[in-house]
Amino acid sequence: MYCKVLDDQLQAYDDAMDSFLDRKTAIVTGGARGIGLAVVERLLQAGAKVAFCARSQSSVDSALKQLKHLSSGDKVFGAAADVRSTGNVEEFMNQVRQTYGAPDILVNNAGIGTFKAVGDFSPAEWEELMGTNLTGVFNFCRAVLPEFRRNPAGGQIVNISSLAGKNAFAGGAVYNASKFGLNGFTEALMLDYRQENIRVSLIAPGSVDTDFSPRSSGTGSTSWKIAPEDVAEAVLGVLHMPARTLVSLVELRPSKPKK
């Protein structure tokens, strides 16, 4: 009897998690692969309409094909946009508004990783990494905030950072700088707008099993790493909290990191 009651409770929870974003519109940057694609999939499963961007149209088209099993097409929209470009961001946002109306959720996931000593970095590489990992977040937050502030229900912003935002490592100075900056930006953003029903959260994963950077390549098993779907589940958990509660920081680590 106890097991049946528990099973019923778990099923009810699963059903709630798979529908609680009905009538919500979410934006995901860098949504064509890795963590971003997993987040798009999970948001669709939870009932949201999702608009995502990636830098190339070919990446967007490939992701849309993978998402066909979750949506007939009316609940997912993808377009190429460079998060570093305010013009690209404005054009993408206009497309989202025309397709779904005002957004309710923003997940800033777009990011790149280049890992080498500072002396080996070119100014162009610095601009690309900082522009993608930090300026891109600013561009999208600035784009959605006016609508979130006008909405009595507010809105939610989830920024995907990294444990590299608090743990420096050799060869990671520029990447560390972008993530340390993102962490500080996110915390201050949360303080700026929490009284206007805008909840801002930071998710900081450790090693995730994606092709994100050269540090992720190599031989051997990667089963010890966090899966992109695990990060997506954390995003959903943050969004599912009652409006009275703000989850400001989630840190994710592999349970058994490689020795």
Report the candidate in 228, 209, 206, 213 with the shortest Cα–Cα distance to residue 38.
228
The distance of Cα 159 from the centroid of its chain, to the nearest Å, equals 6
DSSP annotation string for 225-238: SBPHHHHHHHHHHH
Question: What values do phi and psi take at 96, rounded to 5?
Answer: -65, -45
Q: What order do you get walking across the sheet with 25-29 strand by strand?
A: 76-80, 49-54, 25-29, 105-108, 155-160, 198-205, 249-252
Catalytic residue among 13, 100, 175, 193: 175
Whole-number Cα distances in Å, 48 to 32, 44, 91, 219:
17, 5, 22, 37
Q: Please identify which residue in the block is written with the tokens 């920024």.
A: 159
179 and 165 in contact (C-beta within 8 Å)? yes
Would you call 175 a catalytic residue per the annotation?
Answer: yes
Kindly list the catalytic residues.
175
